[in-house]
């Protein structure tokens, strides 16, 4: 009995996973629960175990491929068994760039791809399989080609939801990047980032293309613009005699591609303005020194400057609910509790773990929770659900010596705090003498649609007061 192993869904928002490496190849004999491959989502990485023992009959994808969830990964069976009938019954014939099955490609129906937009369990979700006992039997039992009630591959629910909320007509997008040209959420995000097009241009393939220069009303790209661009692109590249030296070309994949899309969407969908100030940091430095040498039973030895600032930011955001909010479709939702996301530098790129109920935690609990989340994110073991749901975010580049920067909103959040390095700054004392004092820079980016400049200034003023009295404020 052949078994078709499919790509598991690892989180609510995961539409596809990138194959990092294969642990098996065709012809290998594998045991149940042995590792088949390592995959990476836009949020985490994990190993895919084998659901059964058997021989690897067919590997359907190559390393580096971005595979939609629920799509077949490989086929297990008896040595010498033909994987073609199993793939045909599963509606997966022709799947993947490495497939070489001489059976006609037949769609599996919309239902199998609709599941890519629904919630799955977290990282511990079991590997799903499609088991085939009789390839000549009733194919409708596995949701295969017998299901013809849904025409084509259309668009995913998440794509339709985003399109509806941003006034984008998914019918104008044309072919998407999902399975069989299905329009998925990232296709709608690409359209939003690329700017407006006419319907004719969209159907001609102009949606989501930044290389199309619009000549229509309001800068919209027309069908003629798309045709002109295609002609220009199709011309052979012109080389010059200059020596550019060695270079490498790497397509954006996995988390890097997701970061690029989200950053563009952040700028295109919000009115961002950054406010900067500084706070006296001597109190932070003194308290950190005392905590480092405190009794280990208090659990405060590992508290860092970043922990103290994050703790202060969470408490301040709880008092300024317009900053601890989501803005979606013109509706502002303010939260009583602060679920604080924090930017984390990992080997895979930028991740934003979320400290749930950060505003209700004491300093020791907040520090421990942050460090555990950061360790899981860096190690690639963090659950995808812990990388979403934040209501306010902090990005700390102070440890890298940055004096000032402009953090980008993590939409739909309305505010994000950037934490800068501590530097000695010139100061004039009350007696008129000059001196220097340690100060920490703060950069608050807020969505001006709901947060006015005075509101942002009041937030920073309260945060500065909290930081400059940190030894007392942590007791509140």
DSSP character string of 140-193: GGGT-TT--SS-S--B-HHHHHHHHHTT--GGGT-S-SSGGG-B-HHHHHHHHH
Give the residue with greater pLDDT, 424 vs 202: 424
SS3 239: coil
For residue 163, give both structure tokens: 């399109």
Give the span between the Cα atoms of 201 and 262, in whole angstroms: 24
CB atoms under 10 Å from CB of 151, counted, come to 7
CA distance 356 to 343: 15
Pairing of strands 2-6, 129-132: antiparallel
Residue 213's pLDDT band (cuts 50, 70, 90): low
pTM for this model (two decimals): 0.61
Residue 286 scores a pLDDT above 70: yes
Q: Over range 458-467, report the average pLDDT.
A: 98
pLDDT at 188: 82
Q: What is the mean pLDDT of residues 356-367?
A: 96
Residue 216 is classified by DSSP as: S
pLDDT of residue 219: 55
As a residue count, the chain comes to: 476
Domain ranges of the chain: 2-142, 157-227, 271-473
Residues acting as catalytic residues: 448, 452
Using the predicted structure, report yes or no on whether residue 310 has a pLDDT greater than 80: yes
pLDDT-derived band of residue 91, with 50, 70 and 90 as boundaries?
low
Residue 189 confidence (pLDDT): 82
What's the pLDDT band for 147 if we cut at 50, 70, 90?
Answer: very low
User: Which position has the higher pLDDT, 87 or 391?
Assistant: 391
Q: Average pLDDT of 431-445?
A: 95
How far is residue 286's CA from residue 369's CA, in Å, rounded to a whole number?
Answer: 23
* CATH code matching the domain that covers 271-473, chosen among 3.40.50.10800, 3.20.20.140, 3.40.50.80, 3.30.559.10: 3.30.559.10
Cα-Cα-Cα-Cα torsion 451, 453, 456, 462, nearest 10 degrees, comes to -140
123-127, 266-270, 292-296: which has the minimum mean pLDDT? Answer: 123-127
* pLDDT of 12: 64
Lowest-pLDDT range of 197-201, 390-394, 447-451: 197-201
Rounded distance, CA 14 to CA 186, Å? 11
Asked if pLDDT for residue 335 goes beyond 90, the answer is yes
pLDDT (mean) for 183-187:
80
Cα dihedral: 160, 349, 96, 236 (round 10): 90
pLDDT value of position 105: 36
CATH code of domain 157-227: 4.10.320.10
What confidence tens digit (pLDDT) does each residue in 378-428 have?
988 888 889 889 999 999 999 999 999 999 999 999 999 999 999 999 989
Structure tokens at 422: 């501590």
Mean pLDDT value across residues 440-454: 97
Q: Which of 184-188, 241-245, 297-301, 379-383 has the highest mean pLDDT?
A: 297-301
Band (221; pLDDT cuts 50, 70, 90): low
3-class DSSP assignment, residue 127: coil
Among 37-51, 261-275, 407-421, 456-470, whose mean pLDDT is lowest? 37-51
pLDDT at 110: 33
Token representation of residue 222: 């027309």
Comparison of pLDDT for 27 and 239, the residue scoring more = 27
* 392-396 vs 340-342, strand pairing mode: parallel
- Among 17, 34, 32, 125, residue whose Cα is nearest residue 73: 17
Task: Tell me the percentage of the chain whose pLDDT exceeds 90.
Answer: 44
Tokens matching residue 259: 């970061």
Per-residue pLDDT at 196: 59
Residue for token pair 């192993």: 5
CATH (one of 3.30.465.10, 2.40.50.100, 3.40.605.10, 1.10.3470.10) for 2-142: 2.40.50.100
Report whether pLDDT(296) > 80.
yes
pLDDT (mean) for 55-67: 87
pLDDT for residue 112 is more than 90: no
Question: Residue 345's pLDDT band (boundaries 50, 70, 90)?
Answer: very high
pLDDT of residue 283: 96
38 or 416, which is more confident: 416
Greater confidence (362 vs 194) lies with 362
- Greatest mean pLDDT among 9-18, 88-97, 188-197, 289-298 lies in 289-298
> Residue 13: its pLDDT value, please?
64
Nearest-angstrom CA–CA distance, 364 and 368: 6
Cα–Cα distance for residue pair 436/425, rounded to 1 Å: 5
Residue 220 has pLDDT above 70, yes or no: no
Mean pLDDT computed over 346-351 = 86
Task: Write down the pLDDT at residue 161.
Answer: 73
- Helix locations, 166-302, DSSP H: 185-194, 199-203, 223-234, 254-269, 282-292
pLDDT of residue 360: 96
Mean pLDDT score of the chain, rounded to an integer? Answer: 79
**pLDDT tens digits, one per residue of 256-275:** 777 888 899 899 999 999 99
* Residue 445 near residue 393, CB atoms below 8 Å: no
pLDDT grade, residue 149 (50/70/90)? very low
pLDDT at 127 over 80: no
């Amino acid at each position: 009995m052949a078994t078709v192993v499919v790509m598991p869904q690892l989180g609510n928002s995961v539409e596809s996973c990138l194959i990092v490496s294969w642990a098996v190849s065709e012809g290998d004999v594998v045991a149940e629960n042995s590792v088949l491959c390592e995959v990476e989502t836009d949020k985490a990485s994990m190993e895919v175990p084998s659901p059964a023992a058997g021989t690897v009959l067919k590997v359907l994808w190559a390393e580096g491929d971005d595979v939609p969830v629920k799509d077949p990964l490989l086929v297990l069976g008896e040595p010498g068994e033909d994987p073609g009938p199993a793939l045909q019954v599963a509606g997966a014939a022709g799947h993947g760039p490495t497939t070489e099955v001489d059976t006609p490609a037949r769609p599996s129906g919309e239902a199998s791809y609709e599941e890519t937009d629904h919630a799955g369990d977290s990282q511990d979700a079991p590997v799903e399989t499609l088991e085939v006992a009789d390839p000549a039997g009733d194919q409708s039992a596995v949701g295969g080609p017998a299901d013809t009630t849904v025409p084509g591959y259309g668009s995913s629910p998440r794509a339709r939801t985003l399109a509806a909320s941003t006034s984008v007509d998914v019918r104008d997008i044309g072919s998407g990047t999902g399975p069989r040209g299905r329009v998925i959420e990232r296709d709608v995000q690409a359209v939003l980032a690329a700017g407006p097009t006419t319907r004719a241009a969209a159907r001609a393939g102009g949606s989501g293309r930044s290389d199309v220069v619009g000549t229509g009303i309001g800068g919209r790209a027309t069908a003629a613009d798309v045709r002109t661009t295609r002609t220009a692109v199709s011309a052979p590249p012109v080389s010059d005699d200059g020596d550019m030296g060695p270079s490498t070309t790497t397509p954006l994949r996995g988390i890097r591609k997701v970061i690029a899309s989200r950053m563009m969407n952040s700028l295109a969908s919000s009115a961002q303005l950054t406010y900067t100030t500084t706070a006296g940091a001597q109190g932070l430095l003194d308290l950190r020194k005392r905590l480092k040498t405190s009794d280990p039973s208090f659990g405060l030895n590992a508290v860092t400057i970043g922990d103290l600032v994050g703790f202060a930011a969470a408490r301040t955001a709880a008092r300024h609910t317009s900053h601890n909010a989501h803005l979606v479709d013109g509706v502002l939702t303010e939260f009583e509790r602060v679920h604080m996301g924090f930017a984390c530098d990992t080997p895979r790129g930028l991740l934003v773990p979320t400290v749930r109920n950060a505003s209700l935690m004491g300093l020791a609990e907040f520090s421990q929770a942050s460090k555990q989340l950061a360790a899981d994110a860096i190690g690639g073991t963090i659950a995808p659900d812990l990388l979403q749901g934040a209501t306010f975010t902090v990005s700390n580049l102070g440890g890298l010596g940055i004096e000032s920067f402009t953090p980008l909103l993590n939409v739909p959040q309305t505010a994000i705090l950037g934490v800068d390095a501590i530097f000695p700054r010139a100061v004039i004392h009350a007696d008129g003498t000059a001196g220097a004092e340690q100060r920490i820079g703060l950069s608050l980016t807020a969505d001006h649609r709901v947060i006015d400049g005075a509101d942002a200034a009041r937030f920073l003023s309260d945060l500065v007061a909290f930081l400059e009295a940190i030894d007392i404020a942590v007791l509140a």
